[in-house]
Structures are given as C-alpha cells and as structure tokens.
C-alpha cells in the first residue's frame, strides 16, 4: 500500500481548494466520507491517492433539514441515521428502507449517504485488480467471464452494475444533488448524475476530480404517496443487491396518479423504467396490470451468458412490489 497524506478540511470551499491544489501539483486525491469503501480499496492497492481528503469534519453536512422546498440531507449523514429518521421513515419510506438494507450495522454507522452514492463498482474483476476499463484498461472481463452479477440493461463496453442501494431510491424520489466545485455549486437531478459506460467508461457519475457531492435535496412530500425498496441478495444479509426495486406510487381513490420505478443492480446506473410508469398512470393497479408491468420491465433486457436468471427475477419483483404497494 502506498503511503498518503491525510487532510481534514473544515468546510466545502476548503475541500475544493485542496483538490485544485493537489491536481495542480500533478498529484491525486481521494475523498473519504466514512471510508468503508475507499480504505479497503487503498489497502488492496486498487487506488493509490497521494492525499486522502477526510470529509468527516466538514461543517453543516451531518444534518437532515426540512424546509419549504422539501428536505435537505447533508452528504455526511450516515446510513444509520437516514434509515431511522422519523421524517424520512414516514414521508420518504423508500429511502429509509434502502439505507437500512446496506451492509451491516457497523458499516451503516460509518458509511455516509454521499459515499454510498459515489462508491465504486463491486465487480469481482475490478475489485481483484484486473486491468479492465474501470482501471484504465481496454476490456471488460465479464463479457466472456463470470457475469452472473452483471448488467442486463445499459451494458457495454463495461457491464458493471451500479452497487448503491440509496441511489435507486433517490432517483425514484426525484432527488437533486448539490455539487461543490471550483466554479461554485451546481444542482443536478439524480437522473442526470449517473453516466453509462458508453458515455464515460472509467467513472460512474458526472463528478470531476475537483468536485464533491455535498447535499441531497428531496422535493416536498406529496399526499397519497406510498413508497418502498425491495432488495434481493445472494445471501440473507450484509451484502450488495443482486436486484432491487425502488417504487414510489401516488394513489388517489384507488387510481395511480404518478409512478416512479427504478431498478438497482441490473445496469451500470440506477435503471429508470418510464415506459412502465406510463402503463400505470391513470389506472387501478390490479394483479393483471402489475403482471403486465413486470413483463414490460424486462422487455428490453439483454442478458449475458450467465445472468439470464435476472430477467424472471426482475419481472416477478416488479410485479410483487406493485401489488404490495398498491394494496
Ligand atoms: C462488506 C461490505 C458490504 C457492503 N454492502 C453494501 C450494500 O449492501 N449496499 C451498498 O449500497 N453498499 C454496500 N457497501 C459499500 C459501502 O461501504 C457503503 O455503500 C457505504 O455507504 C459507503 O459510504 P462511505 O461514506 O463509507 O464511503 P467512502 O468509502 O468514504 O467513499 C466511497 C467512494 O465515494 C467517494 N466519496 C465519498 N464521499 C464523497 C463525496 N461527498 N463526494 C464525492 N465522492 C465521495 C470516495 O472517494 C470513494 O470513492 C458494502 C461495503 C462492504 C465493505
């Protein structure tokens, strides 16, 4: 493991200035929230930053604050806090449930929401240091290799799946991400934050090397909304999803007025299903309609040799999630 310098900036401007300075000096920096992903990668020599910018002491980013435009969640809020916060549990249930499914209680207590969104892929080839696209190489080893956990949507040239549990929930809630960088701050919808490998193969989101995700903004909670996050794992606990569904339904007098459905762990980004949502809006969600929605959810899937099982799994999980949410 290469040695590095640890720095503890106190505010977001200091972080951005530090990143700029490190880059100007021709060095590399990594941001650390809880460090539950980053420090493992450093120990395994998968990344070798000269400087680790420890965000833990940043002012004002540890809070969940309701305000007139919705709710502001500081990037350093832990997953444990997010999963148990009364407002998030009652009004943004999908997010509390997603945060509550991440890893172990220990990791949820140190892991931050920004770190969860920005974690690197957990593809076994990437994590074992194969010279794949994500490490600057020229191929994705999963294409002809062990691809049981890889993408069935949006793949190519890399077939990683996006590992975050909170990201599909945030996309389903139409969250917006506040990013601090050298030119000030910008706010982007969650749906524009993640990038497919065909647009940018070496990274998973739009953040530049001198930018930091500082806050997540949730829109105001609406009446008659129910939401949930359902996660399938290959063992009972403490691991990433093989598949997940984040669903938000607004149902008034038995009729679906608005729907947001986002899949996790099936694509290199959280996978939004607008064509399925259109089938639901204006309808009563019956078992038949939920079945049609499940089939439509997978109609555009393109499995690799060993991950075809994700198709019936996704179809069934979308159907069951809709039936249980619609009551
Ligand atoms: C055994 C194990 C099981 C896990 N299971 C799950 C799981 O089930 N679901 C799941 O979603 N994750 C899982 N994880 C991954 C990870 O630990 C968690 O997602 C955790 O929330 C990451 O948060 P952190 O603050 O510790 O991130 P860090 O390790 O601090 O950072 C993660 C990445 O994000 C970057 N980053 C951190 N903060 C920011 C920021 N503010 N702006 C920009 N970039 C930033 C870092 O540079 C790094 O690349 C697991 C990890 C382990 C070790």
In a domain, 242, yes or no: yes
**What are residue 18's phi and psi, to 5 degrees?**
-60, -45
Return d(Cα 184, Cα 211) in angstroms, integer: 10
Helices within 49-134 (DSSP H only): 79-84, 86-91, 93-101, 105-110, 113-118, 124-127
**Average of pLDDT values for 23-48?**
97
Range of the domain at 303: 225-326
How crowded is residue 135: how many other Cβ atoms within 10 Å of its Cβ? 13
| Shortest-distance atom of ligand 1 to CA 233 | 8
How much distance in Å is there from the Cα of 34 to the middle of ligand 1?
A: 7
pLDDT digits (tens, 9 = 90+) for 265-294: 999 999 999 999 999 999 999 999 999 999
pLDDT digits (tens, 9 = 90+) for 212-267: 999 999 999 999 999 999 999 999 888 999 999 999 999 999 999 999 999 999 99
Span 77-125, pLDDT tens digits: 999 999 999 999 999 999 999 999 999 999 999 999 999 999 999 999 9
212, 68: one domain: yes
The verdict on 232 and 268 lying in the same domain is yes
Task: Classify each residue of 196-233 as buried b or exposed e, where b means 16 or more C-beta atoms within 10 Å of its C-beta.
Answer: bbeeebebbbbbeebbbbbbbbbeebeeebebbbbbbe
Q: Are residues 17 and 92 in the same domain?
A: no
Residue 27 three-state SS: coil
Order across the sheet with 51-54: list the strands: 5-7, 51-54, 29-32
Domain co-membership, 214 together with 229: no
- In the block, tokens 């969600």 appear at 285
What pLDDT score does 238 carry? 85
In this structure, are 249 and 276 located in the same domain?
yes
191 and 278 part of one domain: no
Last residue of a domain, one of 186, 218, 250: 218
DSSP secondary structure letters along 193-221: TB--TTT-SS-SBS--TT-EEEEEEEPPP
Calculate mean pLDDT across residues 186-199: 98
pLDDT of residue 327: 86
Longest dimension (CA), the chain: 61
Residue nearest to atom 38 of ligand 1 (CA): 115
Q: What is the mean pLDDT of the chain?
A: 97
Q: Are residues 78 and 204 in the same domain?
A: yes
193 with 306, same domain: the answer is no
CATH classification of the domain holding 196 = 3.30.465.10
Last residue of a domain, one of 12, 32, 54: 54
Quick check: is 303 in a domain? yes
Q: Is residue 88 part of a domain?
A: yes
**Is 136 part of any domain?**
no
CA 41 to chain centre: 18
Q: Say how many Å lie between the CA of residue 272 and the centre of ligand 1.
A: 22
Which residue shows structure tokens 């980013």? 61
Tokens of 100: 């509550």
Cβ neighbours of residue 267 under 8 Å, at least 6 residues apart?
151, 152, 153, 154, 155, 161, 162
Domain shared by 75 and 174, yes or no: yes
Number of independent structural domains in the chain: 3
Assess whether 24 and 77 both reside in one domain: no
Q: Which of 9, 97, 103, 167 to mutate to test ligand 1, by most ligand atoms within 8 A of the CB atom?
A: 103
**Could you give the 3-state DSSP secondary structure of residue 182?**
coil
pLDDT, residue 1, reads: 87
159 within some domain: no
| Ligand 1 pocket: which of 100, 102, 113, 214 to mutate (most atoms within 8 A of CB) | 102
Output the ligand 1 site: residues, CB below 6 A: 30-38, 40, 55, 75, 79, 102-103, 107, 110-112, 114-116, 118-120, 163-165, 207, 212-213, 238-240
| 127 within some domain | no
Q: Is the same domain home to 190 and 309?
A: no
Nearest CA to ligand 1 atom 33: 119
């Amino acid at each position: 493991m290469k040695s590095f310098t640890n720095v503890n900036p106190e505010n977001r401007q200091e972080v951005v200035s530090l990143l700029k300075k490190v880059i100007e000096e021709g060095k590399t920096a990594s941001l650390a929230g809880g460090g539950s992903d980053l420090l493992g990668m450093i120990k395994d020599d998968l990344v070798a930053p000269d400087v680790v910018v420890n965000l833990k002491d940043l002012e004002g980013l540890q809070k969940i604050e309701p305000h007139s435009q919705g709710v502001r969640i500081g990037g350093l809020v832990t997953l444990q806090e997010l999963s148990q916060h009364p407002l998030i549990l009652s009004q943004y249930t999908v997010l509390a449930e997603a945060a509550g499914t991440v890893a172990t209680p220990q990791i949820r207590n140190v892991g931050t929401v920004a770190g969860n969104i920005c974690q690197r892929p957990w593809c076994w080839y990437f994590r074992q240091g194969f010279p794949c696209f994500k490490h600057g190489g020229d191929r994705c080893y999963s294409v002809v290799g062990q691809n049981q956990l890889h993408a069935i949507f949006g793949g190519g040239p890399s077939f990683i799946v996006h590992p975050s549990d909170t990201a599909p929930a945030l996309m389903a809630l139409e969250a917006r991400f506040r990013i601090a960088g050298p030119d000030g701050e910008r706010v982007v919808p969650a749906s524009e934050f993640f990038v497919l490998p065909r647009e940018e193969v070496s990274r998973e989101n739009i953040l530049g090397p001198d930018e930091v995700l500082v806050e997540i903004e949730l829109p105001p909670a609406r009446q008659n909304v129910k939401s949930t996050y359902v996660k399938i794992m290959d063992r009972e606990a403490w691991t990433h999803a093989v598949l997940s569904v984040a669903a938000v339904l607004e149902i008034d007098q038995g009729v679906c007025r608005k729907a947001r459905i986002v899949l996790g762990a099936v694509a290199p980004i959280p996978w939004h299903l607008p064509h399925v949502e259109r089938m639901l809006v204006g309808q009563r969600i019956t078992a038949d309609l939920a079945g049609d929605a499940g089939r439509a959810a997978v109609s555009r899937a393109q499995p690799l040799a060993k991950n075809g099982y994700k198709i019936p799994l996704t179809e069934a999980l979308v159907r069951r999630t809709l039936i249980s949410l619609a009551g």
